[in-house]
């Protein structure tokens, strides 16, 4: 493979532009980063439903099906041994 000077200059051109912008005090993409950051910030005022009560953060669902049987068996003491 032979590299010519033109190919190297074309490959390094974006780096040279970026370095030039940073040296001059310009930060490309700064506004875009600020817009993205706003997406992840929590809202200033949390929304409440029309009733005025805040929404619960999560709902606790009871055990169902085989998980219900397992939880009941796990909470039960073992049977006493028969003494003769």
For residue 5, give Cα distances in angstroms to 18, 19, 20, 42.
20, 20, 21, 51
State mean pLDDT over 35-50. Answer: 74
pTM: 0.35
Q: Cα–Cα distance between 3 and 6 in angstroms, integer?
A: 8
Most confident segment among 12-21, 25-34, 52-61? 12-21
User: Is residue 68 pLDDT above 60, yes or no?
Assistant: yes
Non-local (6+) Cβ contacts of 27 within 8 A are 21
Confidence of residue 32 (pLDDT cuts 50, 70, 90): confident
Q: Cα–Cα distance between 21 and 15 in angstroms, integer?
A: 10
Confidence of residue 49 (pLDDT cuts 50, 70, 90): low
């Amino acid at each position: 493979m032979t590299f010519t000077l033109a190919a190297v200059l074309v490959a390094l051109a974006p780096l040279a532009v970026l370095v030039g912008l940073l040296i001059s005090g310009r930060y490309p993409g700064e506004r875009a980063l600020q817009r993205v950051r706003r997406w992840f910030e929590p809202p200033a005022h949390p929304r409440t439903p029309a009733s005025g009560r805040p929404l619960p953060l999560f709902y606790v669902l009871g055990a169902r099906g085989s998980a219900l049987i397992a939880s009941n068996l796990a909470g039960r003491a073992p049977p006493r041994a028969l003494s003769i």
